Amino acid sequence: MAGIVIKPRARIFHGHEWVYASEIKKSFGDPKPGDVISLKDYKDRPLGSAIYNPHSQIVARRFSRRKQELDTDFFARRIQRALEWRQSIGNISTDLCRILWSESDGLPGVVIDRYGNHVVLQTLTLAMDQRVDSIAAAIQQTLSPEGIVLRNDNPVRKAEGLSPEIRVITGTDPEPRRFILGNISLGVDLIGGQKTGLYLDQLDNYPLIAEYAKGRRVLDCFTNQGGFALHAAAGNAASVIGVDSSHAALATAQANANESGLSNVTWLEANVFDNLKERQSQAEQFGLIILDPPSFTRNKRSLNDAIRGYKEIHLRALKMIEPGGVLVTFTCSHHVSRRAFLEMIRDAAVDAKRTLRQVDTYHQRADHPINPSIPETEYLHGLAFEVIPAW
């Protein structure tokens, strides 16, 4: 097997599974892009098997500490193991679930989501993209879905030299369908919706914010299909406004409200930055504001711009929260650490002249497991603050 020799002190010796170009001492056996290669340390000791893409910043991603080929049997074993773990943690329905999540489940660049009897597959690395058919066969063996949809429109594919593609791999064409979460009905379009249909990582957090909504005016910024807004409405908010720039997402949000029998919620298609500015100029007040923006940065270089963007919306939101009201806020960029996020909020509170009390923390749902040696696997940080009355 062709492979690479890794320099001492590389991150792989500290538990990470990635090898960057600067960490490679030399390659041997002429590995080709997308190949399975073997990794060795400088004393020629084997470190395991990895997928290889010399055109990506991350040249190799280890998926086994042994000598291992990528075949349907192996894929099926990894999927089965990921499924069984999710079944064992109890509080998650594996019917509406991320069944397998990339590095965290030992298949770098493979994401498998189950929406009832359909499965959505993403292949985000070159090697896995070359093996789509084999992965689909393994999904069929282990999960027996009625159909498998390939949702390869995730922009991270660009870093691996892959272009966007959406198609049904096998089985029936998925019709838009509904799932019931608590007492909320959520519409899911596996072909046309954002991500693979829903923001699965947030599902557990929706009901948690409902307790802050009771009797209050609520503003849900970046509402998408209304996950937070609908739960706030069901939690007896006085009124709820959901804001998003996506017309299609809001159409689903409206249908969700109708299906859930909720009438105390309205939807607004707007840019949140402009909308918050406008509301602030009209001195509007809210008892609960939720901020769940998209990732403002895909790399470290634009981190400062991202922080500036986060700060602007936090500053405006904090100024509009009435005393005793609550701000619930999330970042989904792994480049923004919980600490950096908190520092930004602290700065915004200083400028807004508000004193805060931290009342809650939120995380990505357990079907997006965190590997502590791979910090990139922890990407969703959420915090709730009460704006305490002046003293």
Which residues in this chain contact ligand SAH in the complex, by CB under 6 A?
194, 199, 202, 222-225, 227-228, 244-246, 249, 271-273, 292-294
Distance (Å, rounded) from C-alpha 69 to C-alpha 326?
52
Compare residues 7 and 195 and give the one whose CB is closer to ligand SAH.
Answer: 195
Q: Name the nearest CA neighbour of 266 among 198, 197, 275, 321.
A: 275
The minimum distance between CB 9 and ligand SAH, in angstroms, equals 38
**Amino acid present at 57:** Q
Catalytic residue among 332, 336, 349, 387: 332
Q: Which strands sit side by side in the sheet containing 3-6, from one edge to the other? A: 18-20, 58-64, 46-52, 36-41, 3-6, 24-28
Q: Is 39 left (phi over 0), alpha (psi -120 to 50) or beta?
A: beta
CB 272, min distance to ligand SAH, A: 4
Q: Which is nearer to ligand SAH, 56 or 202 (CB)?
A: 202
CB 385 within 8 A of CB 362: no
Residue type, 62: R
Length of the chain: 391
Instruction: Provide, rounded to whole angstroms, the least separation between the CB of residue 270 and ligand SAH.
Output: 6
Contact 357, 386 (CB under 8 A): yes
Choose between 63 and 101: whose C-beta lies nearer to ligand SAH: 101
Question: Looking at beta carbons only, is 125 or 224 nearer to ligand SAH?
Answer: 224
> What is the rounded CA–CA span in Å between residue 136 and residue 350?
52
Q: How far is the CB of 108 from ligand SAH (least distance, A)?
A: 24
Q: How far is the CB of 204 from ligand SAH (least distance, A)?
A: 11
Query: 36-41 and 24-28: which strand pairing?
Result: unpaired
Q: How far is the CB of 82 from ligand SAH (least distance, A)?
A: 23
Cβ pair 169, 150 in contact under 8 A? yes
Nearest 5°: the CA angle 280, 313, 315 is 70
Q: Which is nearer to ligand SAH, 212 or 228 (CB)?
A: 228
Report the residue number, 31 or 197, with the smaller CB distance to ligand SAH: 197
Respond yes or no: is residue 221 known to be catalytic.
Answer: no
DSSP summary character for residue 33: T
Residues annotated catalytic, as ranges: 332
